[in-house]
Structure 1
């Protein structure tokens, strides 16, 4: 079981990335860097072979499907680290790559909201940096 993962719909399948999985006490819960896909037509879960620079294990991140070809993953948390990195999963190649952004970068955060604005733009808003709630908004142009 996972919690605090991202879930994105692409071509009728659910792409579940990362999240927290329980561990027996007293060990703290751990974060996952796995990608699972659910095919509702066949009622099956499977794990694709993914190459490239995968995001580190995390939870509380966001994921947006863009241009009917990519999933952009931003931020997240793996105690005690909060992230502000971005990755792109090419859904045709099943390959991750690091996205280099320009301009003022958002501070590290988790539990933020994200929304697709257009074919090439998405935003992230708010979140939590490990100490405080955030209320800023950033727009990314892919």
Structure 2
């Protein structure tokens, strides 16, 4: 029987944040809470929950030491995603009320709590929020989201990390945002979310999805039911 065993208060109050588990700790990044300031440019906040001591801790802001290093720390945002690969958490996408949507890839080292922006190559997805992301091996798969037509652009450089558009076959899942996605084995399952009758541009003709769509990953010859963008170490 499945049942809830712990109920705690005192953590950050917010929605549209992103969280990942690292060992016995949960790292929570950003998110939205009514009444907070999302117009002033400031660093994203990071809260850590210890599942052994059942205590929350907020990490102190990072000292950037100049405008150039400040660009390596993501600004406060909501609607982004976070995934863990080895000892690094990757933050992608999201928006705030001043900067709009973002397509810069940020990396957070869980050992020394240091932010940096990895060097990337390939076709970078458009800035968006409300997408989903999950990991299989060394690859992060991004699906859906509300794409901003004009947004920040990250310059492409060496091929330490690369983006590509995954080959697809079959009937793809309908475009959507604010859904969930998870990988079991070699399949990615997408569930729920909000779509629009006219595709990835909101027209107030919303459709809410309640079907599960699955896709096999890593093999372009297999049947792909979703369109997604991948990221992996070269």
Bin for the TM-score computed over the shorter chain = 0.7 to 0.9
- In terms of Rg, which structure is larger? 2
**Higher strand fraction: Structure 1 or Structure 2?**
1
Q: What TM-score, normalized by structure 2, do the two folds share?
A: 0.50
2:93 aligned to which of 11, 14, 18: 18
2:166 is aligned with 1:96:
no
Instruction: Give the 3-state SS of the residue equivalent to 2:145 in structure 1.
Output: strand
Q: What TM-score, normalized by structure 1, do the two folds share?
A: 0.81
Q: State the match for 1:41 in structure 2.
A: 111
Alpha-carbon separation, structure 1, partners of 2:83 and 2:112: 18
Q: Once the 2 structures are TM-superposed, how far is the Cα of residue 79 of structure 1 from its aligned partner? A: 5.5
Alpha-carbon separation, structure 2, partners of 1:93 and 1:49: 6
Q: State the match for 1:57 in structure 2.
A: 127
Q: Deviations over 1:108-135 (max 9, x none)?
A: 10011111111x2111011001412211
Alpha-carbon separation, structure 2, partners of 1:79 and 1:39: 28
Q: Once the 2 structures are TM-superposed, how far is the Cα of residue 69 of structure 1 from its aligned partner? A: 1.4
Q: Once the 2 structures are TM-superposed, how far is the Cα of residue 106 of structure 1 from its aligned partner? A: 0.9
Q: Deviations over 1:9-40 (max 9, x none)?
A: 110211001111221xxxxx611111111112
Q: Deviations over 1:26-67 (max 9, x none)?
A: xxx61111111111211111111111011100111111111x
Q: Once the 2 structures are TM-superposed, how far is the Cα of residue 93 of structure 1 from its aligned partner? A: 3.9
2:180 aligned to which of 113, 124, 133: 113
Q: State the match for 1:88 in structure 2.
A: none
The total of aligned residue pairs comes to: 124
Q: State the match for 2:230 in structure 1.
A: none
Q: State the match for 1:7 in structure 2.
A: 82
Q: Which runs of 4+ in 1 moved over 3 A?
A: none
Alpha-carbon separation, structure 1, partners of 2:96 and 2:127: 11
Give the superposed CA RMSD.
1.7
Q: State the match for 2:138 in structure 1.
A: 69
